[in-house]
């Protein structure tokens, strides 16, 4: 299966993006191992997370519409935001992936989703934090938090991404904000509970 996916990627994705995909696959597997999650599922989701990355906007919109996905005004203006959800469709229809957790991890790797599973979290984090993304002090801190607290890492990685988006004329999808808020609240709730009482 992996060779079949790699062959498909070689036909549909530039070499630089394949290198990114392989690094995401590797980081997702390492995080899965660290958190005692299914490493095979992590590898599959990591390898397939960007299947639709280079689909044309019209194709993304068309496939999303056929699937019955919500196309709000932000997505209509930035169809590229659909590439994660559409990658999950390609994984299912082209490669026969039926595992709902793997499909969700693929679909949620860009915008996230409130309450997403640990597997979704590690693919979401690996996509932004894999070593090829750079080596700034901020990225180093985020990578460290990945190994300590998945929920906090998702919240802080959302903040990191928003800073980048706010400095460019790009729209921020409400689902990404909802993801950030959910994981922030979850982290704070845990942190509050963990405090010793007077």
State the sign of the Cα–Cα–Cα–Cα dihedral 12, 18, 20, 24. Answer: positive
Please report, for the domain that includes residue 127, its CATH number.
1.10.3210.10
Residues 28 and 22: their CA atoms lie apart, in Å, by 10
Residues 81 and 74: their CA atoms lie apart, in Å, by 9
Across the chain, mean pLDDT equals 93
Residue range 79-119, pLDDT digits in tens: 999 999 999 999 999 999 999 999 999 999 999 999 999 99
Q: Tell me which residue range forms the domain holding 135.
A: 2-194
Domain count, the chain: 1
Confidence label for 169 from pLDDT (cuts 50, 70 and 90): confident
């Amino acid at each position: 299966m992996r060779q079949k996916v790699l062959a498909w990627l070689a036909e549909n994705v530039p070499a630089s993006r394949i290198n990114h995909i392989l690094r995401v696959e590797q980081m997702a597997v390492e995080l899965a191992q660290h958190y005692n999650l299914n490493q095979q599922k992590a590898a599959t989701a990591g390898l397939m997370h960007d299947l639709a990355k280079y689909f044309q906007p019209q194709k993304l919109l068309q496939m999303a519409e056929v699937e019955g996905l919500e196309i709000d005004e932000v997505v209509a203006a930035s169809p590229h935001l659909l590439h994660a959800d559409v990658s999950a469709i390609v994984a299912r229809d082209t490669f026969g992936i039926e595992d709902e957790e793997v499909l969700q991890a693929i679909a949620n790797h860009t915008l996230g989703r409130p309450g997403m599973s640990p597997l979704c979290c590690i693919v979401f984090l690996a996509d932004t934090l894999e070593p090829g993304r750079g080596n700034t002090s901020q990225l180093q801190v985020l990578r460290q938090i990945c190994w300590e607290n998945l929920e906090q890492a998702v919240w802080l990685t959302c903040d990191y991404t928003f800073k980048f988006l706010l400095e460019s004329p790009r729209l921020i999808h409400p689902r990404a904000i909802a993801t950030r808020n959910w994981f922030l609240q979850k982290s704070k709730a845990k942190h509050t509970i963990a405090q010793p009482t007077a």
